[in-house]
Amino acid sequence: DVKVTQSSRYLVKRTGEKVFLECVQDMDHENMFWYRQDPGLGLRLIYFSYDVKMKEKGDIPEGYSVSREKKERFSLILESASTNQTSMYLCASRGQGANEQYFGPGTRLTVT
Amino acid sequence: SQQGEEDPQALSIQEGENATMNCSYKTSINNLQWYRQNSGRGLVHLILIRSNEREKHSGRLRVTLDTSKKSSSLLITASRAADTASYFCATDAQGAQKLVFGQGTRLTINP
């Protein structure tokens, strides 16, 4: 079974802090994705990566950056956390040529 | 921007009844997928229907796709309390590398 893990289930950070959210998948998938989920807005794509060191902006990249130094790991970085980045963050992966995305359990981030 | 739009936003039914959720989208697609999300958890893939298919079944799930109307429906038959979750449609647009998710339907099954 594909497993996607995220470093934290719950995280509380202060405004202005630098925040790292880590995602690891164990199925050698080429494609990895970061979404944020907010009530009434569904899932919105922040960034995705289709290969090591490659990244593409999604629909809402502002205030975020990503890093993919190894195939199995995709990190989301909040350079200077703000209260409007309080949200549920979901990581997903997908194999090349495949259709289904596999999701991690999510990280609920609160910025105070 | 969100392409998939689910309807209704929330649905509450009695255990044993059938639940129907609808999804509309805007552009041409390769396939449409449905995912389930239990409260506070990640999404789980349920079923995929390709653009050249009209109907697909998997257990108690039945999905239809009408490309002329750019819409899909997910039917869950003989609902159970464990079906309580949010359900999302996601479209895999032609030429795109990413899925576009709708806002979801919150389904509650009352015992």
Question: What's the token pair of residue A98?
Answer: 């495949």
B chain contacts of residue A58, beta-carbon cutoff 8 Å:
98
> How far apart are the C-alpha atoms of B86 and B99, rounded to whole Å?
17
- Residues B18-64 pLDDT 10s: 999 999 999 889 999 999 999 988 999 999 999 999 999 999 999 99
Secondary structure (H, E, C), A21-69: EEEEECCCCCEEEEEEEECCCEEEEEEEECCCCCCEECCCCCCEEEEEE
> Above pLDDT 90, what percent of chain B?
74
Q: Rg of the Cα trace of chain A?
A: 13
Report pLDDT for B94: 66
Question: What's the token pair of residue A72?
Answer: 């199995």
Q: Name the band, by pLDDT with cuts 50, 70 and 90, for residue B2.
A: very low
Interface with chain B: mutation pick from A37, A46, A102, A107, highest number of B CBs within 10 Å: A37
Q: Which residue of chain B is at minimal alpha-carbon distance from A57?
A: B98
Q: Name the band, by pLDDT with cuts 50, 70 and 90, for residue B1.
A: very low
Contact state of B43 with A103 under an 8 Å Cβ cutoff: yes
- Residues B61-84 pLDDT 10s: 999 999 999 999 999 999 999 999
Contact state of A104 with B42 under an 8 Å Cβ cutoff: yes
Contact state of A99 with B33 under an 8 Å Cβ cutoff: yes
Contact state of B103 with A40 under an 8 Å Cβ cutoff: yes
